[in-house]
Amino acid sequence: MVLQTEKRKKEHIDLCVNKDVSFDKKTTLLECIELNYSSLPEIDLSAVDLSTIFLGKNFSFPFIVSAITGGAQVSKKINLQIAEACSVVGVGMGLGSMRAMIEKPSLKETYNVKKDFANIFVSGNLGVAQLENYSIKEIDLAVQSIEVDALAIHVNSAQEAMQPEGDTNFSNLITKISDASDSLSIPIYVKEVGHGISFDIASKLAKTNITAIDVQGAGGTSWTRVDSLRHKKSFGNVFRNIGLPTAVSIIKTKKALIGHNKKIIASGGIRNGLDAVKSIVLGADLVGNALPVLQCQQKNGVRGVVDYLENFKKEMEIASFLVGCKNISKLQEQEYFVIGQLNDWLK
Ligand SMILES: Cc1cc2nc3c(=O)[nH]c(=O)nc-3n(C[C@H](O)[C@H](O)[C@H](O)COP(=O)(O)O)c2cc1C
């Protein structure tokens, strides 16, 4: 099983870096959000401060590298280089699924970035189906052994359905998430993998003790596409564009979480600081992405990721300046306009 998991991890990285794995007929629809541009913002661009605190950790701007890897030997270098860049810039990162290290604890070193970069927020990661296979005690031991700050539970029915070896029994998993959120020693949040969280799922999750929802909507990396390339399954192409665009998922999740004290992470196809600021205006607390960071790491290592993150931060600051907002809470009060196709989704 570990060997199969390790092989899958390597294939995921190779496919994501070398093939076109994006949605080809769907976008995030963040292009249908227009900000209230100000030609006279009445603030100084250099005074824009997007720093924030998420689950007790400081972020220099509201960004988390979404879960990418762990469990294969190639993962160790990727995770350490991303962690170093996050530490330099002051943002957080997610680790890939920890299933491999629960099965084989010696793989812990491929995830253990906290031992070198204790200052950054790091989330562990586990597929929701694994809540059936491992006890809370086993999961707790695993997360404590690498000292992560939170555990992201990924919910990925579309991806699993593409895999011959996929875990496709999704019965009763909301109860499992709820139980885990009551008993695990660290905060839990729920994340998709790029096909989006709907209003009804967010409403059910709102009643649990999870701390956040990471929407991971459609418009960026398509995981039905990645896994169908792996298995050369023709039906994979049928499902390449399945899911809720990221803008829809943020708006619906925000609505579902009204009155509940939970955070929102906006992700899935977020490719620049303007889209990131639009996501904050829609109500997100953090934004994230995976594939662009992996591509920068593969090309230019730590320096590549630092440059990418610094540029992204600058874009977010400029976008905030252009709507006259000097911090995140001001952005979250900003008005915005919905145009085009997004209106159809929101009807
Ligand atoms: C190579 C690679 C491996 C990934 N592995 C995981 C994983 O183990 N667990 C998980 O929750 N998400 C995983 N993801 C999904 C991302 O966290 C993210 O949800 C998805 O790629 C959409 O974001 P993007 O459009 O910015 O890439 C992986 C992404 C990439 C690129």
Return the ∠ at Cα 33 (arms to 28 and 38), rounded to 5°.
Answer: 140
* Cα angle 62, 13, 291; round to 5: 30
Ligand 1: which of 128, 163, 189, 221 to mutate, judged by most atoms within 8 Å of the beta carbon? Answer: 221
Q: Which two tokens stand for residue 195?
A: 């096909």
Collect all residues with Cβ–Cβ distance below 8 Å to 152 and sequence separation of at least 6: 67, 94, 123, 124, 125, 126, 188, 189, 190, 191, 214
**Exposed, middle or buried, 204 (CB in 10 Å: 0-12/13-18/19+)?**
middle
Closest ligand 1 atom, CA of 97?
8
Mean pLDDT for all residues in the chain: 96
Residue 291 Cβ contacting ligand 1 at under 6 Å: yes
Task: Tell me how far apart the 2 most distant CA atoms of the chain are, in Å.
Answer: 60
- Domains of the chain by start residue, with CATH: 2-346 (3.20.20.70)
Ligand 1 proximity of 196 Cβ (cutoff 6 Å):
no
Which of 256, 172, 262 has its CA nearest to residue 210? 262
Residue pair 209/178 in contact (Cβ under 8 Å)? The answer is: yes
pLDDT at 240 over 80: yes
pLDDT tier for residue 231 given thresholds of 50, 70 and 90: confident
Q: What is the pLDDT of residues 254-270, one digit of tens each?
A: 999 999 999 999 999 99
CA 4 to chain centroid, in Å, comes to 24
Instruction: Summarize the confidence of residues 116-138 as an average pLDDT.
Output: 97
Burial track 87-96 (b if 16+ CB lie within 10 A, e otherwise): bbbbbbbbbb
When pLDDT is averaged across residues 264-279 and rounded to a whole number, the result is 98
User: Which residue's C-alpha comes closest to atom 31 of ligand 1?
Assistant: 291
Q: Relative to the CA of 154, which ligand 1 atom is closest?
A: 11
The mean pLDDT value for 118-122 works out to 97
Q: Which pairing describes strands 122-127 and 150-154: parallel, antiparallel, or unpaired?
A: parallel
Q: Does 240 contact ligand 1 (Cβ within 6 A)?
A: no
Please say if the pLDDT value at position 146 is more than 70: yes
Q: Averaged over 97-125, what is the pLDDT?
A: 96
30-67: pLDDT as tens digits: 999 999 999 999 999 999 999 999 999 999 999 999 99
Query: Which of 26-40, 54-68, 177-191, 226-240 shows the lowest per-residue confidence on average (mean pLDDT)?
Result: 226-240
User: What is the Cα–Cα distance from 136 to 21, expressed in whole angstroms?
Assistant: 34
Give the pLDDT of residue 1: 57
Query: How many of the other CB atoms lie within 10 Å of CB of 123?
Result: 27
The whole-model pTM stands at: 0.97
The pLDDT, as a whole number, for residue 3 is 67
- What pLDDT is stored for residue 272 in this prediction? 98
Question: Can you tell me the distance from the alpha carbon of 156 to that of 64, in angstroms, rounded to the nearest whole number?
Answer: 19
